[in-house]
Chain A
Amino acid sequence: MKSAVLVFPGINRERDMARALKLISGHEPAMVWHAETALPRGADLVVVPGGFSYGDYLRCGAIAARAPVMDAVRDYAAKGGLVLGVCNGFQILCEAGLLPGVLMRNARLKFVCRDVHLRVERSDTPFTRGYNAGQVIRVPVAHGEGNYEADEETLKRLESEGRVLYRYCAPDGTIDEAFNFNGAAHSIAGIVNERGNVLGMMPHPENHVEDIMGCADGRGLFAGLLAHLKQAA
């Protein structure tokens, strides 16, 4: 798996992401500066990592979404290339128009940094095939603006097209407002675009990839991508 990790000023999770990608795929990802106008040739996966690009000025992800490299990402996605955005990366993909909706301030206004449980809604996508449908995984979140919102029509479409891949849930997998810690519409933690090749999610699977981290539940996402690419090759 040849992956590319985008780097913007103010991003701080790019090394965690690169480390997880190397660990699981065996290949060092290319780090791609935001001012580049092209992605590395033959990239199988483009990752927009987490952090605080441009200090969250204007709106989270707004300025990074207009960086030169994002035009290349748009072209890459339009050709069916796999794109993964985590945390600030999810915000950037929404601001760039690659995913619908917007990530608003957490409903209780608090920055939340802790482990949460996610229910994997389906297992037949490149981003979830490392899991079983309905499986509950534990991964960390660290964000102040992860409250996913979209208009009613968009939410209806996301649900009817099965584009919500990850949802905040109780440890037993029940969807309950008590576990929807940031107030996201429909407890949404991660969604894909219409074509299913662009995933945005607030939690950090790259931070739970080996036992020394206390949990390796995030590994399935990367292992699934690897399996998908191997099968496609």
Chain B
Amino acid sequence: MKARVTVTLKSGILDPQGKAIEGALKSLGVAGVASVRQGKVFDIELSGSDRLKAEAVLRDAADRLLANTVIENYAIELQA
């Protein structure tokens, strides 16, 4: 089973990298960009096929390593 975990900065946390990218997009002339926040995507392959179990495993992985929950949120997506 394939899954994707997306980690994003919590709102209110300053994101200097996102700001720099935002500035670069503006200087490239890409119109209509109001703001940019940078995050991370993890594509994960799981060995089992039990969706509930898979979600529990991914939650554990995200809580313990993939995200620093002091500053980051995560979202789990299971692919069919």
Using a CB–CB cutoff of 8 Å, the interface residues on chain A facing chain B are 58-59, 62-63, 66, 95, 100-102, 104-109, 147, 149-151, 183
Contacts and interface: CB of A to CB of B under 8 A. Distances in A.
B14 A102 contact: no
Interface in B27-54: none
A105 B66 CA distance: 18
Interface string B11-37: 001101100100000000000000000
Contacts of A100: 70
B71 A105 contact: no
B65 A105 contact: no
Nearest to B10: A151
A66 B16 contact: no
B38 to A, nearest CB: 10
A59 B14 contact: no
B71 to A, nearest CB: 5
A62 B16 contact: no
Interface of B: 13-14, 16-17, 20, 64-66, 68, 70-71
A149 B71 contact: yes
Contacts of A66: 64-65
A147 B16 CA distance: 11
Contacts of A147: 16
Given A101-B70, A102-B71, A149 B14 contact: yes
B68 A59 contact: yes
Given A59-B68, A95-B68, A149-B13, 19 more contacts: A58-B66, A62-B68, A66-B64, A66-B65, A100-B70, A101-B70, A102-B70, A102-B71, A104-B13, A104-B14, A104-B16, A107-B14, A107-B16, A109-B16, A109-B20, A147-B16, A149-B71, A183-B14, A183-B16
Contacts of B13: 104, 149
A102 B71 CA distance: 8
A58 B71 CA distance: 14
A183 B17 CA distance: 14
Nearest to B9: A104
B70 A62 contact: no
Contacts of A104: 13-14, 16, 71
Contacts of A183: 14, 16
B36 to A, nearest CB: 14
A145 to B, nearest CB: 10
A94 B18 CA distance: 23
B68 A102 contact: yes
A175 to B, nearest CB: 20
Nearest to A66: B65
Contacts of A62: 65, 68
Contact of B17 (A58, A109, A149): A109
